Structure 1
Amino acid sequence: MSTAATTLLRNWSWRCAKSSTRKELVTDKWTPCSHSRATTQIHPDLIDAGLIADPFVDLNEHTVQWVGEADWEYQTTFTYSSSVKFTDLVFEGLDTFASVFLNDVKLLETQNMFHSHRIPVQNSLNDGHNTLRIYFCSALLRAQ
């Protein structure tokens, strides 16, 4: 058996979550991220998709306040080979209130973006195709 480290930077997609208060954006369609970095913030993805103006330009920040009032999901797919000896998912920080699902099974729920998490997942992986999904709840709405 071999060991390897893989960073899941590619093939991420996003969507407004079904439980979001922004019903006009809720869809079953996933929008591919146009960058090669892992999930960071929804704002750059919304800008790339032409759905919002850059909040750092002029007074645009006022027109995008709703983004923080919505729940967002990210997902990626990857392949796994059972010949790998040890398998953990490592998150170096998930923005405050997040739930992590591997193949539709919840593995983790977070409440602090400053904590890292290491989750053993070897028994949860399919030999071949796997889907990793992260659900981000609106911190603003959760705090209210």
Structure 2
Amino acid sequence: MIHRNQLRTRTNEDTISNLNASYDQGDLEEARFDEIMDFLTGDFHPAFWPVFSPHRYTISKKSEELKAVMEAAYGRIDIAMTHLDRLIGDSNHVYHEKRTIADAYAYVMSLWSLKTPKPYDQYPNVARFMKSMSEDSVVQAVIQKSR
């Protein structure tokens, strides 16, 4: 067991190695996947709410004020898109090198960035991910059925 006073004297790498040793690798992977899904559902998705429903963030009905609400969201969306870009990294998936529900969720929400001044093609890893997803036959079939 690592005590608080030991944490102060060890490097982060040593601490993480010791903590990891006490957990099953499956638990760590599950926690990492949950962390990614928490980001997608709790940060990424809500960042777009003011773009689609600006009236929820003001009592004004004036178009210039509704537009200001939408514009205020662009910074938060950029932060979320930048984080997604880092998550994807050199792969074509959000979580490791495998397709998960996180890919489908990130794909749809990244399409929403087309409604902002900085769409997904401005994030190199997201752009590559989106191209790969767009070319996938299953994704194409789902899009075709949804039209």
Common fold, TM-score beyond 0.5? no
Which has the greater radius of gyration? 2
Taking structure 2 as the reference length, the TM-score comes to: 0.29
Instruction: Give 1 or 2: higher helix fraction.
Output: 2
Per chain length, whose mean CA-contact separation is higher, i.e. which structure has more relative contact order (CA < 8 Å, sep 6+)? 1
More strand by share: 1
